[in-house]
């Protein structure tokens, strides 16, 4: 299955629609893989921390960029176990969905709506954790930042796909405006601007302490 997806991803797209699908689901696949790796590393590091509370973790660089500090807060285990365990499951599903999309599978509208809703919950959770780290804990986890960024791309990609395909069944006039909006590249501009804004927020909040 993965080999077939790879052929689709790297082969020459026969038309604009195929190129669009390759771009959307290719982005989702790469982001999902990166997020899964981050979740896996965080899970392993959590085990190391449980075995030795004083362990020096690979993602702990200074007082601001310190996974160890973040991992020992209540926010790191919202459901009573490490959040990274949720990521192991969630991002594995993202990868499967991306591969399904790359293979061009024809799935029910309800499936894509539910996936978009799930990704929305995921990005909301990721940003809740992000803002908790910035303003409450006031310590950042580098791997968590990667998760936040990749989750943003995953949600943005899925939403772009659903809007392009009018999965939400917008009325004709509304859909025409949405398609014009997407065609002009405003969706990508919003996502890029948001990411830049979040990076700026981190630098304004922590400044030179990020590199201390």
* CATH number of the domain encompassing residue 195: 1.20.1440.130
pLDDT for 7 beyond 80:
no
At 36-45, the pLDDT tens digits run 999 999 999 9
CB-based burial label for 198 (10 Å; 0-12, 13-18, 19+): middle
pLDDT of residue 14: 58
List residues bridging with 65 in a β-sheet: 140
Task: Give me the number of domains the chain comprises.
Answer: 1
Minimum mean pLDDT among 20-34, 50-64, 157-171, 185-199: which range?
Answer: 50-64
Assign 1 a pLDDT band (cuts: 50, 70, 90): very low
For residue 199, give the nearest of 153, 146, 156, 124 by alpha carbon: 146
pLDDT exceeds cutoff 80 at 15:
yes
Distance CA(181)–CA(24), nearest Å, equals: 17
Pair of tokens at residue 8: 């689709």
Instruction: Tell me the average pLDDT across 115-137.
Output: 98
Distances (CA, A) of 148 to 51, 177, 200: 27, 30, 15
The structure's pTM equals: 0.90
Return all residues near 55 (Cβ < 8 A) that are at least 6 apart: 48, 49, 68
Q: How far apart are CA 5 and CA 70, in angstroms?
A: 37
- Is residue 10 pLDDT above 80, yes or no? no
Instruction: Provide the pLDDT confidence category of residue 78 given band limits of 50, 70 and 90.
Output: very high
Each residue's pLDDT tens digit, 43-74:
999 999 989 888 888 889 999 999 999 999 99
Report percent pLDDT > 90 for the chain.
83
Q: Residue 9 pLDDT more than 80?
A: no
Query: Pick the residue with more confidence: 106 or 176?
Result: 176
Q: Is pLDDT of 154 > 50?
A: yes
| 57 alpha-carbon distance from chain centroid | 23
Q: Which pLDDT value is given to residue 56?
A: 81
Burial letters 149-173, b for 16+ CB under 10 A, else e = bbbbbbbbbbbbbbbbeebeeeeee
Determine the structural domain holding residue 193 and report its residue range: 2-211
Question: What pLDDT, on the 0 to 100 scale, is given for residue 53?
Answer: 83
């Amino acid at each position: 299955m993965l080999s077939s997806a790879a052929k689709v991803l790297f082969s020459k797209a026969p038309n604009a629609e195929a190129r669009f699908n390759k771009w959307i689901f290719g982005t989702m696949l790469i982001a999902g893989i990166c997020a899964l790796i981050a979740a896996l590393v965080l899970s392993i590091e959590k085990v190391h921390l449980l075995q030795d509370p004083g362990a020096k973790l690979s993602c702990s660089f200074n007082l601001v960029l310190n996974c160890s500090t973040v991992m020992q807060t209540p926010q790191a285990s919202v459901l009573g176990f490490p959040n990274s365990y949720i990521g192991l499951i969630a991002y594995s599903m993202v990868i499967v969905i991306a591969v399904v999309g790359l293979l061009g599978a024809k799935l029910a509208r309800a499936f894509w709506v539910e996936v978009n809703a799930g990704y929305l919950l995921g990005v909301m959770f990721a940003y809740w954790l992000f803002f908790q780290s910035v303003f409450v804990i006031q310590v950042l986890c580098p791997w968590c930042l990667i998760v936040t960024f990749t989750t943003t791309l995953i949600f943005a990609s899925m939403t772009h796909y659903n809007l392009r395909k009018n999965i939400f069944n917008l009325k004709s006039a509304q859909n025409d405006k949405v398609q014009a909006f997407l065609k002009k590249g405003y969706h990508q501009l919003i996502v890029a601007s948001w990411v830049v804004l979040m990076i700026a927020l981190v630098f304004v909040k922590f400044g030179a302490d990020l590199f201390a």
